[in-house]
A and B are shown apart, each in its own frame.
Chain A
Amino acid sequence: MSLRTARTLPLLLAGILLAAGAHASEAEHVHASQAWIRILPGDLPAGGYVTLENTGDQPTSLRAAHSPSYASIGLHKSSADGGTSRMAMVDSVAIPAHGKAELTPGGYHLMLMKAAAPVKPGDKVKLTLTFGDGSTLDTDFLARPANATDAGDAMPGMEHGH
Chain B
Amino acid sequence: MKLCRIRRVALLSLLALAALLQAGCHREDAIPWLLTDVTGHMPDLDFRLVDDHGKAVTGQDYRGKVVLLYFGYTHCPDVCPLTLAQLHVVMQRLGPLADGARILFVSVDPARDTPEVMHAYVNAFDPRAVGLSGAPRDIEELSKRYRSAFTREPDQGNGQYEVSHSSAIYIFDRDGKARLLSTPDRSQDDLVHDLHLLLSLGASA
Residues of A within 8 A of B (CB): 38, 40-42, 44-47, 76, 78, 80, 83-87, 105-106, 109, 111-113, 145-149
Contact = CB atoms under 8 A, between A and B. Distances in A.
B117 A42 contact: yes
B106 to A, nearest CB: 14
Contacts of A45: 75, 77
Interface of B: 72, 74-82, 84-86, 88-89, 117, 120-121, 124-126, 149, 160, 162, 164-168, 183-185
A146 B75 contact: no
A83 B168 contact: yes
21 contacts: A41-B120, A41-B124, A42-B117, A76-B77, A76-B78, A78-B78, A78-B79, A80-B184, A83-B166, A83-B168, A84-B166, A85-B76, A85-B80, A85-B184, A86-B162, A87-B164, A105-B85, A106-B79, A106-B82, A109-B78, A146-B124
A76 B153 CA distance: 14
B79 to A, nearest CB: 5
A40 B81 contact: yes
Contacts, number: 95
Contacts of A87: 76, 78-79, 162, 164
Contacts of A105: 78-79, 81-82, 85
A17 to B, nearest CB: 41
Given A41-B124, A147-B126, A106 B76 contact: no
Residue in B79, B88, B184 with the greatest tally of chain A CB atoms within 10 Å: B79
Contacts of A40: 74, 77, 81, 121, 124
A46 B166 CA distance: 21
Contacts of A149: 82, 85-86, 89
Given A80-B167, A84-B164, A109 B84 contact: no
A83 B89 CA distance: 22
A112 B78 CA distance: 11
A84 B78 contact: no
Nearest to B168: A83
